[in-house]
Amino acid sequence: MSSRKWPGLRRVFRIRVGVRGLRSDVNDELGFHIQGRIEELMANGMSRDEAEAEARRRFGDYERIESEVERFDRGANRRRTMADRIDALRVDLRYTIRMLLRQPIFAIVVVSTLTLGISATTAIFHAVDRVVLHPLPYPDPDRIVYLGWKWAKGGGAHSLSPRKFVFWQEQSRVFDGVATSSTFEAVVGEDQTGSVSRGMRITADYLRVIGMQPALGRAFSKDEFTRSAAPVAILSQALWISQFGGDRSAIGKSIRLDGHPYTIVGVMPASFEVAEQTEWAQVLLPLEFTPEQLSEGGNNYMVIGRLRSDVSRAQIEADMASVFERYRSTFAETDQKDDRGVELLTYQAVFTGGLSSILWLMLGATIFVLVLACANVTNLLLARSLSRQREFAVRTALGAGRGRIARQVVLEMVVLGVISAVLATAASLASVRAIVALANGSLLRESQLKIDPRALVYTTLVALATSLVVGLIVALVATRVDLTKSLAGGGRSTSGGKRQATLRSALVSTESAIAMLLLSGAGLLIASFARVSAVDPGFRREGIFTAVISRAPSGYDSASAVWQFEQRVLDKLRSTPGITSAGATFTLPLQRGWNLPMTVEGRLEESTGDMEWRSMSPAYFQTMDVRLIAGRDILDSDTQASQAVALISQSFAKRYWPNESPIGHRLLLGRYKGKLIGPAFDEPPREIIGVVPDLRDMSLDQKRPRSTVWIPQAQAPKALTRIPAFVVRATDAGIAADALRRAISAADPRMRAPDVAAMTDIVSQSLAWRRFSMVLMTAFALIALTLTCVGIYGVVAYSVAQRVHEIGVRMALGARPGSVVALVVAQGVRPAVVGLLLGLAGALVLSRLLATMLYGVGPRDPLSLGLVAFVLASVAVLASYLPARRASRVDPLTALRSD
Amino acid sequence: MTPPGADDLELIRGTLDLLVLKTLSWGPMHGLAVLQWIERSTRQRLQVEEGALYPALHRMEDKGWLDAEWGHTDVGRRAKFYRLTTAGRRQLNAELSKWARYSEAVAWLIDAKGAKS
């Protein structure tokens, strides 16, 4: 019988052709042939024996032929079964789609629930993939490390001073190369009005370390890294194209940067800009440190190294330790005893340390949301499968096996899952945009968040896994059809049995537990955010506006030139109506100041390297609304010519002068145990003239205020002098911005327009990552809460529908509506409370993960946890009450008659 | 029918399909009948190893050229009958034209005069 002739017939009757069947078929056929021959031969006059021998001879090797025929048939049979299966699948698929189209609401609810779950997790997976899992875009990224500086008391810098860099570069034996870079801005082209390009100065091994070479021309030669060498530059692909139209003859030509000519020796490949992921890669110049830079103590250069491929971890550690020993003995006089030497860091540790833990946490949260979505869908499918019991029963009676019906259920789920995956991909594109917007560009860049094939694979796998899991659970439970009961049940649908009721309660508990877990996380993050936002930074942020000038034109090489410019701007500002007061500083609040050692005069042994240096103009504190605790503020009369002075922070004062006034004591800036760290810091002792309250000017959530020394800008050493940032107190943002721009342009028309920002925005921006994690976690928690609410409602409403008859009986027997409500509500609330308690326990265990992201609340903050538990419980009650109220309105007569 | 004489011809490889398809083009037959038809219509000149017929039949059934069905012979014996399908008919035409071109080519070669000069 052929599948072609009667397609599906074998399937309909579920006839299996086994190997045994095949063999006897073949035997029969061959036997018939031989038998026929024998009879024919005997008819021609042979004896039986002769005829048999002749027939067998003519037939040939029976065994061989039989096995050959069987081999054909087995293969054919296999192919036929496959074709049957595909056929069956097509029929099932058509049936499924017809069923779904008949119940579009059901399909829409399932698809939107799944889409929600899948797109959330896809979007976050994406961020994790790009930010956390993605390696550096250089060749052999595993061998690239960042050299940081470790301190004994914990913590450290992710960068080194030029002196340390050079020392390790020369002494360490475990690297193929060690390099560092700095950035600069320069006007490109003949005239000063040309476009500004951002470039990097790189040390000799930089390109070797990142594993890239110019696509055109050559890298810098060794002697080009000396100050006296003729100036040379390497262009990026983009600059080469914009300036020279991509002409290869650009090599050897000259390009002007800030008016100075540089000979072009090379052009980097386009992949370089992509790899560096920065706008600071347009042009490269050689970096050579000056003697002053080499004597300075600040860890301000990010240093990267490429480890040799043949060194072990132990060798690396031994090398770092021995180089550090040599460094200590070489620079014994300025070295600080609390150093621990160079520490090798990964890219992730340097750049995405904080962010990656947030993202992992969020990925965890989205997976919980997905599980929740699955629970809801499972519930929905279960309920529906119960109402389909009769359909299943009929099909079973007609011969469909349990497996067949199970396959139908799973298939239905897979169809829904695939639709959801497609929608989720589109939705996650949109949510990736939202995430970038939320991160405000400070945490993630959009370039890091494009939908790529890996995310699509992730979406697909997640969608298939969820569909299969949900489908199988439902299939296992729903296909236990009791034929006689279902068919005999007449029009009334079956109650589904204890087993399914238990499963539904378990789903509600799971949902509540997950919702509780996410709500706790969100609650703690919201509480932390509220506390951080309410922190008093020590200055009044409202009404303050700042102006930052990103780049000064030429002519500001001396401290006095900067100071005169600042004076002109401040004078102009102070005479502008609407500006209450104005000041300037080298480092705005929430930016880093300098970290330099100092010695208190007469107390050599107590020197510290852990001291924050900030600078200000007269009236700066007044503008920031900071009231001095003791002494006086600086005045216009504190100049280069007068006695050098400083103000100190309260914690500094307490540390050195717990029982007396610090005023009148003297500080030695830039000296460690009295020894000068570099000629740039040589200056007379500074007299302390006042005490300033501790400001939270590193970040609002800094653990303890840093000991800070404030010095007048007029007296700042050259090494610390730069174009200042201006702050004004004004009644109106527009007035402030206008006044700042006019004043700066009036003081020097060549100055570029400043970036003006409100201090409230700067403070808010400093909380970006907190807001990011809070908003995301809250969003996930709310989704979880909504899904749980829908889930509980669904389960209770379904059970009410199932028990209309029973409720009718109860009411007919005199049950009051109140007791019916209580009965039904309890049914939804009981598993929800179980889940809530489980979730609470989970939250107490998992809150450790959140600990580093919290501020001002413990990870087990009873208020936050209690509050979210209350919210969840209320939602559970509400979700159960609505169907319960309907149950209490059941008319006993109707209910009983419907039987 | 009986004597396999010395001048019996070995079947040329690949022609069995053609013989079977052509035979079945006259109507459904079981394997033995196919063989007997071949013997009769070739005047017993072609020597077919009888057993070899069956792998060929099953192979062609698998390819969809033949349909097979268990039925009963005139005398009421159970036998497997093969029938040409549409695809089989198409295949037969292809085989026929291939054979015609082949024998024509062989004939050309045989008739060709020896190469001169």
**B80–A61: do the CB atoms touch at under 8 Å?**
no
Residue B2 lies in a domain: no
Q: How many other CB atoms are there within 10 angstroms of residue A664's CB atom?
A: 10
Residue A21: Cβ within 10 Å count = 13
Residue B27 lies in a domain: yes
Domain-located, residue B56: yes
**Token pair recorded at residue A497:** 């049995």
Residues of chain B in contact with residue A43, where contact means CB-CB under 8 angstroms, are: none
Across the interface, whether the CB atoms of A68 and B55 are under 8 A apart is answered yes
CA-based nearest residue in chain B for residue A44: B2
pLDDT band at B4 (very low <50, low <70, confident <90, very high): very low
Domain membership flag for residue B1: no
Residue among A725, A736, A692, A747 at smallest CA distance from A580: A736
Question: In this model, does residue B113 exceed pLDDT 80?
Answer: no
Q: Is the dihedral of CA A807, A811, A817, A819 positive or negative?
A: negative
Amino acid A542 reads E
pLDDT at residue number A337? 61
Comparing A194 with A231, the larger pLDDT belongs to: A231
Task: Please judge whether B30 and A32 are an interchain contact, meaning their C-beta atoms are less than 8 angstroms apart.
Answer: yes
Contact A671, A717 (CB under 8 A): no
Q: Please state, in angstroms and as integers, the Cα–Cα distance from residue A91 to each residue in A318, A394, A400, following that order.
A: 70, 18, 13
Which residue has better confidence, A841 or A258? A841
Place of tokens 């829409």: A108
Q: Residue B35 burial (CB < 10 Å; 0-12/13-18/19+)?
A: buried
Nearest of A870, A883, A871, A898 to residue A823 by alpha carbon: A883
Tokens standing for A120? 């959330």
Q: What is the mean pLDDT of residues A519-532?
A: 91
Residue A877 one-letter amino acid: V
Contact A319, A326 (CB under 8 A): no
- Tell me which of A14-28, A303-317, A665-679, A740-754 is least confident: A14-28
DSSP notation for A362-423: HHHHHHHHHHHHHHHHHHHHHHHHHHTHHHHHHHHHTT--HHHHHHHHHHHHHHHHHHHHHH
State if pTM tops 0.80. no
Q: Which residues in chain B have Cβ-Cβ distances shorter than 8 Å to A60?
A: 49-52
User: Could you tell me if A45 lies within 8 Å of chain B, comparing CB atoms?
Assistant: no
At residue A8, the pLDDT reads 43
Q: Is residue B3 part of a domain?
A: no
Long-range contacts of A245-254 (CB under 8 A, 24+ apart): A248/A216, A251/A216, A251/A217
Q: A65–B51: do the CB atoms touch at under 8 Å?
A: yes
Closest residue in A to B48 (Cα–Cα):
A58
Q: Are the Cβ atoms of B51 and A36 closer than 8 angstroms? A: no
Q: What percent of chain A has pLDDT over 70?
A: 87
Q: What is the mean pLDDT of chain A?
A: 82
pLDDT band at A522 (very low <50, low <70, confident <90, very high): very high
Poorest-pLDDT segment among A363-377, A566-580, A800-814 = A800-814
Q: Give the residue with greater pLDDT, A559 vs A181.
A: A181
Best CA proximity match to B49, nearest among A58, A195, A500? A58
Report the pLDDT averaged over residues A480-508: 64
pLDDT of B43 higher than 60:
yes
**Which chain B residue's Cα is nearest to A68?**
B55
Is residue A571 a contact partner of residue A729, using CB atoms and an 8 Å limit? no
Q: Which of A2, A36, A62 is nearest residue B51 as measured by Cβ atoms? A: A62
Total CB pairs under 8 A between chain A and B: 74
Q: How far apart are CA A442 and CA A275, in angstroms?
A: 19
Closest CA to A316 of A166, A150, A135, A147: A147
Q: Are A509 and A832 in contact (CB under 8 A)?
A: yes
Token output for A130 = 């790009």
Q: Are strands A598-600 and B66-72 parallel, antiparallel or unpaired?
A: unpaired
Judge whether residue A421 has pLDDT over 70. Answer: yes
A18 pLDDT band, cuts 50/70/90, is low
Decide which of A9 and A357 is more confident: A357
Query: For position A276, what pLDDT does the model report?
Result: 63
**Predicted confidence band at A88 (pLDDT cuts at 50, 70, 90)?**
confident
Report in angstroms the alpha-carbon separations of A649 from A594, A614, A661, A769, B106. 15, 11, 12, 28, 112
Domain membership of residue B29 (yes or no) is yes
pLDDT at A755: 85
Q: How many residues does chain B have?
A: 117
How confident is the model at residue A346, as a pLDDT? 77
Higher-scoring residue by pLDDT: A309, A551: A309
pLDDT at residue A490 in the model: 45
Query: Average of pLDDT values for A834-850?
Result: 88
Q: Is A28 in contact with B78 (Cβ distance < 8 A)? A: yes
Mean pLDDT for A391-410 is: 76
- Alpha helices (H) along A495-538: 497-534
Mean pLDDT of A377-405: 76
Interface membership of A33 toward B (CB under 8 Å): yes
Range in A1-5, A453-457, A793-797 the model is least confident about: A1-5
**Paired strand residues for A758:** A545
- Residue-wise pLDDT tens digits, A101-157: 888 888 898 899 999 888 888 888 877 777 666 656 677 778 888 898 887 666 677
* Window from A14-18, A140-144, B27-31 with minimum mean pLDDT: A14-18
pLDDT at residue A460 above 60?
yes
pLDDT at residue A449, as a whole number = 52
What domain range includes position B86? 9-110
Residue B115 within any structural domain of the chain: no
Mean pLDDT of A644-664: 90
Chain B CB within 8 Å of residue A498 CB: no
Question: Which residue reads 């890294």 in tokens?
Answer: A225
Split at pLDDT 50, 70, 90, the class of B2 is very low
CA distance A31 to chain B (A): 10
| Euclidean distance between the first and the last CA atom of chain B, given in angstroms as a whole number | 50
Angle at B64 between CA B61 and CA B69, to 5 degrees: 50
What pLDDT score was predicted for residue A278?
Answer: 63
Other beta carbons within 10 Å of B1: 9
Pair A134, A356: CB distance under 8 Å: no
DSSP code, position A240: H
Q: For residue B64, list chain A residues with Cβ-Cβ distance below 8 A.
A: 4
pLDDT at position A874, please? 94
pLDDT at A333: 59
- Residue B89: CATH number of its domain: 1.10.10.10
Structural domains in chain B (count): 1
Which range in A380-384, A666-670, A709-713 is most confidently predicted, on average pLDDT? A709-713
Residue A609: predicted pLDDT = 61
pLDDT in tens, A703-745: 677 788 899 988 888 777 788 899 999 988 888 999 999 999 8
* The predicted structure's pLDDT at residue A537: 82
CB contact under 8 A, A76 and B85: no
Spatial distance between the Cα atoms of A147 and A153, rounded to a whole number of angstroms? 18
Residue A888 reports pLDDT greater than 90: no
Query: Beta-carbon neighbour count of residue A103 at 10 Å?
Result: 12
Residue A494 has a pLDDT of 47
Cβ-based contacts of A69 with chain B (< 8 Å): 54-55, 58
- For A161, how many CA atoms within 13 A lie in the half-sphere containing its CB? 20
Confidence at residue A435, expressed as pLDDT on a 0 to 100 scale: 72
Report the distance separating Cα A170 and Cα A212, nearest Å.
22
State residue A15's pLDDT score: 44
CA distance A714 to A373: 64
Q: What pLDDT does residue A427 have? A: 83
Number of H helices, E strands in chain A: 28, 26
Q: Is residue B91 part of a domain?
A: yes
Res. A785: pLDDT tops 90: yes
